[in-house]
Chain A
Amino acid sequence: MAGFDKRVASYEEAMEGIESGMTVIAGGFGLCGIPENLIAEIKRRAVTDLTVVSNNCGVDGFGLGVLLEDRQIRKILASYVGENAMFERQMLNDEIEVVLTPQGTLAEKMRAGGAGIPAFYTATGYGTPIGDGKEVREFNGRHYILEEAITGDFAIVKGWKADRYGNVMYRHTAQNFNPMAATAGKITVVEVEEIVEPGELEPSQIHTPGIYVDRIIQGSFEKRIEQRTVRS
């Protein structure tokens, strides 16, 4: 890794420095646009006591679900954790701490974290259990709760195309939480389907500018589909 060349040669190198007890922010929605190989590398490294921030927690045997198999996740912030039997079991047995967070609040927590904004007020969750114990303020006759930003020791991100400067584009709805996650890691690692030459990506079409990105690796992806629906 020299200068602006963010490319790394292996997944081992991509996740160098991750340790037990760290916070990892992951992009993805369901199984769409998840950094599947970076997750596999975290599993291989057998680090534990992780705090994971992700909209969902994968399914049994795929995505973040694989980190449940060896109980590597101690705490997770997510908006929806269904469709995962192992997760449910660990949640019911208090083996994993779950902080359910409204989806928009979760996205904004990551965005704010990456943008240096420590907290923000939102109407989402006011008057619900999510607002319990949080500061409330009234603006223009409406109530808002204070939500704090999130940053991570690592952010793991799935992109479509990138150049070696770390400029990233996402494909279709695989974008989801990835751009916000990319801004919020002390070390941001992006795995992509293709690394192209600088200049090939149209500058105005780049979703994540390279300034946020520390490491880039090209991988191959299974892209499992969660709900295969077709019209006849």
Chain B
Amino acid sequence: MALTREQMAQRVARELEDGFYVNLGIGIPTLVANYVPDGIDVMLQSENGLLGMGRFPTEEEIDPDMINAGKQTVTARPGAAIFSSAESFAMIRGGHVDLTVLGAFEVDQEGNIASWMVPGKLIKGMGGAMDLVAGAENIICTMTHASKHGESKLLEKCTLPLTGAGCINRVLTDLAYLEIKDGAFVLKERAPGVSVEEIVEKTAGKLIVPDHVPEMTFDAE
């Protein structure tokens, strides 16, 4: 079975370490905040200028001056800091954020990522995505392994305009967890019940399959 969005978030959350500053993109990455393991403290960075993003507010707590990078109303947790957008991107570009999680349309075996425009379709902009991928050492890309029509999104070379070049080193899809190393995807884990054969079939880029590929496990929620 392919992973659900929640399971993908749960799997990514296992990569969190105590004391990490983390930037979570829109979509599945946002859900990662719901699965921070017990005993681990992370600070969420929101690129509009907030380090230490808290929960959504209650009706009484709503404040139009307090939003996240998705323009949603949020709160600040104890220990949070608020600053300008230049300061925020200094953190990002200066490599101070420990982990960035973001979505993509395509990634390729060289670590290139395409996530912001599809030619011919309306282009809304890249927001902070190009800064995030250029600045972070440690990025996990979350995406579906293949399109609805079965076309792989893990490619030899991205076909869409890039968001960043040679910057992605880990990918979690609905089928597998992979690393990108030396010009190839390395299959590290597979979703429960998903065969190696299916992953091979749906990966267009160069794929290295170790002898043993463990299956992910999830607690019943």
Contact = CB atoms under 8 A, between A and B. Distances in A.
Contacts of A176: 48-49, 84-85
Given A82-B125, A127-B164, A227 B131 contact: no
B181 interface: no
Nearest to B57: A230
A124 B130 contact: yes
A177 B67 contact: no
A174 B65 contact: yes
Contacts of B28: none
B72 interface: yes
A227 B85 contact: no
A128 B128 contact: no
Given A33-B65, A173-B65, A175-B49, A129 B161 contact: yes
Contacts of B18: none
B135 A123 contact: yes
A229 B74 contact: yes
A86 to B, nearest CB: 13
Interface stretch (A41-49, A73-81, A148-156): A73-81
Interface stretch (A6-14, A107-115, A197-205): A107-115
B126 A100 contact: yes
Given A126-B165, A128-B162, A103 B65 contact: no
Given A80-B125, A102-B130, A174-B65, A227 B70 contact: yes
Nearest to A132: B161
Sorting the interface of chain B by its residue count into under 10, 10 to 19, 20 to 34 or 35 or more gives 35 or more
Contact of A80 (B66, B67, B122, B124): B124
Interface stretch (B7-15, B86-94, B171-179, B184-192): B86-94
A177 B55 contact: no
Interface string B10-50: 00000000000000000000000000000000000011111
Interface string B119-140: 0001111111111001100000
Contacts of B68: 173
Given A32-B71, A82-B125, A175 B83 contact: yes
Interface string B74-105: 10100000111110110011000000000000
B34 to A, nearest CB: 11
Interface in A95-110: 100, 102-105, 107-108, 110
Given A91-B122, A110-B86, 7 more contacts: A82-B125, A102-B126, A105-B131, A128-B130, A128-B163, A173-B49, A230-B57
Interface of B: 46-50, 55-59, 62-68, 70-74, 76, 82-86, 88-89, 92-93, 112, 117, 122-131, 134-135, 161-166
Interface of A: 29-33, 55, 78-82, 88, 91-92, 100, 102-105, 107-108, 110-111, 122-130, 143, 160, 171-180, 207, 223-231
Shortest beta-carbon contacts, A-B, top 8: A127-B165, A104-B89, A104-B131, A82-B124, A80-B125, A223-B64, A30-B71, A103-B128
